[in-house]
Amino acid sequence: MGERGWRVMLGFERGWAMKVVIFAGGYGTRLSEETAVRPKPMVEVGPKPILWHIMKIYAHHGYKDFVVLGGYKVEAIRRYFLDYARLESDFTVNLRTGAVEVLNGVRDDWRVTVLDTGLETMTGGRLKRAQKFIGDETFLLTYGDGVSDINIEQLVAHHRRCGAMATVTAVNPPGRFGVLGLSEGEDRVQGFREKDQQDVGLINGGFFVCDPGVFQVIDDDATVWEQKPLRELVHRHQLSAYRHLGFWQPMDTLRDKAVLDGLWETGKAPWKVWSD
């Protein structure tokens, strides 16, 4: 059987071989100017929500089966995807009968599951609530507010080589994130803690790959993924790191949004790895 035959059998040609799980339920308080009326993943960069940009990155690499972990204003995410076909297509509507004729189909052949994982649930709890929808296979996991030019295929290959239960992408900071303790030349994380003002170096940039065993280190709704679960994985020597030294940018503040908008509007967005 040729390479394409194996890819078809494993599901890669359909893009549904591995689920992409996206945290999208937080309040986004540092971007309250925007998030007072919509969840942060629905805040637009250029003409589209940042959530769409993140999904386009994964879809470009063949991963098109998404599980969105909503909470705060999850109804905005639901409406967006329920109306996606009409928003992305030309159509003719018969105002007398209400019949709609779609004139061109949506190009994004994605499958999207939107879950309400609770208003006050922490990140680990959101993931635990979605376990039955994620299943018993390796899955991808990231935050609904950060974009990168990361090569997802290389990330997955790295995870498989390392054999750890989870892999986190280590990136250069623009600030304020959990610090990864990495030894020179090593891929296993030696420590994980919150960032302080004295810190420099690589940080947690999301874009995880996780085996289903990670659900064992999540207790309940109050569990923060970035705290006890990741520290427990470090203790077990089960958290590897994929170093990404290219572009990475979160959208935490209006300044961050302005940076991303400017890159998009000038046609210089490094995360736009897909073709129109």
Average pLDDT of the segment spanning 256-273: 95
What is the average pLDDT value for the chain, to the nearest integer? 87
The torsion defined by the Cα of 247, 108, 256 and 244, in degrees rounded to 10, comes to: -20
Residue 275 or 64, more confident: 64
Domains defined along the chain, listed by start:
3-262 (3.90.550.10)
**Global confidence as pTM:** 0.85
Predicted local confidence at residue 1, as pLDDT: 39
Q: Give Cβ neighbours of residue 80 (< 8 Å, ≥ 6 apart).
A: 42, 49, 87
Predicted local confidence at residue 14, as pLDDT: 44
Q: Is the pLDDT of residue 120 over 50?
A: yes
Predicted local confidence at residue 273, as pLDDT: 95
Q: Is the pLDDT of residue 4 over 80?
A: no
HSE-up of residue 270 (Cα within 13 Å, Cβ side): 12
Average pLDDT of the segment spanning 37-62: 97
d(CA 157, CA 162) in angstroms, rounded, equals 9
Q: Is the pLDDT of residue 220 over 60?
A: yes
| Band (187; pLDDT cuts 50, 70, 90) | low
| Band (173; pLDDT cuts 50, 70, 90) | confident
d(CA 46, CA 89) in angstroms, rounded, equals 19
Express each pLDDT in 151-171 by its tens digit. Answer: 999 999 999 999 999 999 999
Express each pLDDT in 5-32 by its tens digit. Answer: 434 334 444 445 799 999 999 999 999 9
